[in-house]
């Protein structure tokens, strides 16, 4: 009887482990979709496509700013950023954003991404700047991926940026 009990426990443990581990193809498919999501965010910033950028954000999304110690609706940040998109679209400014990640967790419908982004601006007077920002992002997928929470944790450095994989 003891052997049957141990066998049952071992089989249950194997089943639980099997259910909790994602197949490499599942992870690969999710990361491919998320890479496309981040590429779309970058495209929108680069082209000044505000409507496209807004579509990458969940309507109930939240932004958290570690530098200002505030959290507020992403819709407020979008209203503030709209002029930057307009300036980019008109050619007054060139903007670009690139993302790199140190940790990417999730499943088919949720993702928590940790890493950094580098936001580059080039003004019409020729001055440019690179802002390196530590980032955590929580995304949900319904029909498409959308950011639910963007936590801009703190300023980073080019050295930290270079340590992350492209």
Asked whether residue 13 is domain-assigned, the answer is no
Asked whether residue 50 is domain-assigned, the answer is yes
Beta-carbon contacts of residue 164 (< 8 Å; ≥ 6 apart):
100, 101, 102, 115, 116
Is the model's pLDDT at 13 over the cut of 70? no
Tokens 């703190």 locate to 154
Domain total of the chain:
1
pLDDT, one tens digit per residue, over 67-123 is: 999 999 999 999 999 999 999 999 999 999 999 999 999 999 999 999 999 999 998
pLDDT at position 23, please? 56
- Quote the domain boundaries for residue 142: 20-163
Dihedral sign (CA 134, 36, 80, 74): negative
Asked whether residue 1 is domain-assigned, the answer is no
pLDDT at position 166, please? 74
Asked whether residue 15 is domain-assigned, the answer is no
When pLDDT is cut at 50, 70 and 90, the band that residue 132 belongs to is very high
pLDDT at position 7, please? 39
When pLDDT is cut at 50, 70 and 90, the band that residue 15 belongs to is very low
Asked whether residue 12 is domain-assigned, the answer is no
Rounded CA separation 101/31 (Å): 11
pLDDT at position 126, please? 87
Q: Does this model's pTM top 0.85?
A: no
Cβ count within 10 A of residue 26 = 12
Rounded CA separation 139/107 (Å): 11
Report which DSSP code applies to 3: H
pLDDT, one tens digit per residue, over 38-77 is: 999 999 999 999 999 999 999 999 999 999 999 999 999 9
The two structure tokens encoding residue 109: 């419908």
Asked whether residue 109 is domain-assigned, the answer is yes
Give the CATH number, domain containing residue 37. 3.10.450.50
């Amino acid at each position: 009887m003891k052997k049957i009990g141990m066998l049952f426990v071992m089989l249950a443990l194997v089943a639980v482990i099997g259910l909790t581990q994602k197949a490499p193809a599942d992870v690969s498919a999710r990361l491919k979709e998320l890479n496309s999501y981040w590429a779309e965010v970058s495209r929108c910033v680069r082209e000044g496509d505000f409507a496209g950028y807004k579509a990458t954000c969940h309507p109930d999304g939240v932004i958290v700013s570690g530098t200002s110690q505030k959290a507020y609706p992403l819709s407020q940040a979008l209203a503030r950023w709209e002029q930057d998109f307009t300036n980019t679209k008109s050619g007054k400014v060139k903007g670009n954003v690139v993302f790199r990640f140190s940790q990417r967790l999730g499943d088919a419908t949720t993702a928590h991404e940790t890493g950094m982004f580098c936001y580059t601006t080039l003004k019409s007077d020729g001055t440019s700047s690179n802002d390196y920002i530590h980032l955590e992002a929580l995304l949900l997928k319904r029909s498409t991926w959308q950011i639910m929470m963007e936590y801009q944790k703190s300023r980073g450095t080019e050295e930290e940026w270079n340590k992350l994989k492209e």
